[in-house]
Amino acid sequence: MQINLTKSVTLTPVQILALGFAIVIFIGAFLLHLPISSQSGTSTPFVDCFFVSTSATCVTGLVTVDTGTNWTYFGKTVIMFLIEIGGLGFMSFATLFALILGKKITLKERLVMQEALNSFNLQGLVKMAKYILMFTFSIEGAGAILLSTQFIPQFGLAKGIYYSIFHAISAFCNAGIDLIGNFRSVTPYYDNPVIILTIGGLIVTGGLGFYVWQEIYSYESEKRLSLHSKVVIGATISLIIVGAILIYLFEMNNPSTIKNMAIKDKLLSSLFASISPRTAGFNSISTSEMTTASRFLTIILMFIGGSPGSTAGGIKTTTAALLFMTVISVIKGREDTEMFERRLSKQIVYRALAITVISLCLVVTVTIVLSITEKGASLEYLLYEATSAFGTVGLTLGLTTKLTVAGKIILAFTMYAGRVGPLTLALAFAAKNSNNSIKYPEDKILVG
């Protein structure tokens, strides 16, 4: 279905979605480029403003200049609003303003919302948008209150409240941008369970997806969860637990990370290092000093990301779970993919496969291009950076601040593609094909 915006321009919902994010990014870059945004009183180079605006809008967290020391409160507030808009989607905010102004939500706007929210149908989208906004502000408010108990004693009332709100929004929206300064993220608070668990809880909450939380909220009356929610919850818990155990085992003898910590802090840091790559970007231990095994595991977690309809990026937990169960079904000789005693259609499997293949091609291509532009950087660092950008994570081994102008532009596009969605972006720029009802004769090829 198409949307006629003017007599001469016809855009599909996916094209409007891709264009909307691009517009928000450029507006943010312009505001950050203003001298009022910089602590020095002079304009920050536009390429850095563009990179940071893309990172904030795409809720990634990679930054080329230190957020805590480079920007004024005006600049920091711009970044905070970009994170909120990027995390919830500009269509959610457009719906909010339309409702405030008493404007009716039209069919074409509902179609764009359906694409933005990964909804199965058009029914109840406006109600869902209201729920998303109320749920988000409530959770972020609760997180800010918890964080304020730690930040106010350290920074004072006004600064402590501002820091609490900023980090609550950044954590819930899975952005990973912090104000601590000097690119330290939350490493100074590795032994503070209130800050680590609050930020970790906000990351998981934002990464589960709004539909899942709506079903959890209504479970007492409905007494059932959809297959989608079961898969999301099961995959999320499995990835967090398995990731935490493996990181603990990989890092337990590493003196540069957790070896010399108390057992409580070791467990806390391992858990946080498992949660954050999907896809928040905060870190409580040095990522560059982690073992090779932990860094590779982090790359895998970053690539998988969070869940559909959430603030997270990556190929999504449902996609990874669907492909895994498809492999299991093939091994067992079953014709269909089965999950929780339900059969899934071939179309969903094809879509999951397309998303994964496109995403892999994007990450590999970006890694190869970065190897040309960023001379001297190791393959591991380049792959880590490319995956972090695609998964809208924000973790880095220290390469981001050393990027060339070409490297910054390449990673900015990667973050944009990761937030909008690789398949959505491909559909937005793909040529329109007419329906083809021709079916060719079936044949066979050897595989494996």
Select the more confidently predicted residue: 221 or 2. Answer: 221
Which 3 state secondary structure label does DSSP give 38? strand
**What is the reported pLDDT for 7?**
44
Residue written as token pair 């494996």 = 448
Task: Find the radius of gyration of the CA atoms of the chain.
Answer: 22
Locate all alpha helices (DSSP H) within 39-124, ordered by sequence: 46-57, 67-70, 73-88, 90-100, 107-116
Per cent of the chain over pLDDT 70 is 83
Q: Given pLDDT bands bounded at 50, 70 and 90, which one contains residue 105?
A: low
Asked if pLDDT for residue 429 goes beyond 60, the answer is: no
60 contacts: CB under 8 Å, gap ≥ 6: 54, 175, 176, 281, 313, 388, 389, 392, 393, 394, 415, 418, 419
Residue written as token pair 């896809």 = 279
Select the more confidently predicted residue: 15 or 241. Answer: 241
Q: What is the mean pLDDT of residues 183-212?
A: 93
Lowest mean pLDDT among 11-25, 144-158, 290-304, 318-332: 11-25
Both tokens of 267, joined, read: 């467990």
Residue 183 neighbours by CB distance under 10 Å: 17
What is the tens place of the pLDDT at every residue in 312-353?
888 999 999 999 999 999 998 888 898 988 899 998 999 899
CB 17 within 8 Å of CB 424? yes
CA separation for the pair 2, 220 (Å, rounded): 40
Sequence ranges of the domains in the chain: 3-428
Query: How open is the CA angle 398-401-407, to the nearest 5 degrees?
Result: 105
Spatial CA neighbour of 198 closest among 234, 231, 172? 172
CB 275 within 8 Å of CB 203? yes
Give the strand pairing for 3-4 and 342-344.
Answer: unpaired
Q: Given pLDDT bands bounded at 50, 70 and 90, which one contains residue 211?
A: confident
**What is the reported pLDDT for 6?**
44
What is the tens place of the pLDDT at every residue in 126-185?
666 777 788 889 999 999 999 999 999 999 999 999 999 999 999 999 999 999 989 999
Query: How open is the CA angle 53-55-58, to the nearest 5 degrees?
Result: 100
Both tokens of 73, joined, read: 């409160």
Asked if pLDDT for residue 221 goes beyond 80, the answer is: no
Both tokens of 331, joined, read: 């091994």
Instruction: Give me the residues paired with residue 71 across strands.
Output: 38
Q: Given pLDDT bands bounded at 50, 70 and 90, which one contains residue 424?
A: low
How many residues are recorded in the chain? 448
Q: What type of residue is 12?
A: T
Task: Give this prediction's pTM.
Answer: 0.88
Asked if pLDDT for residue 447 goes beyond 90, the answer is: no
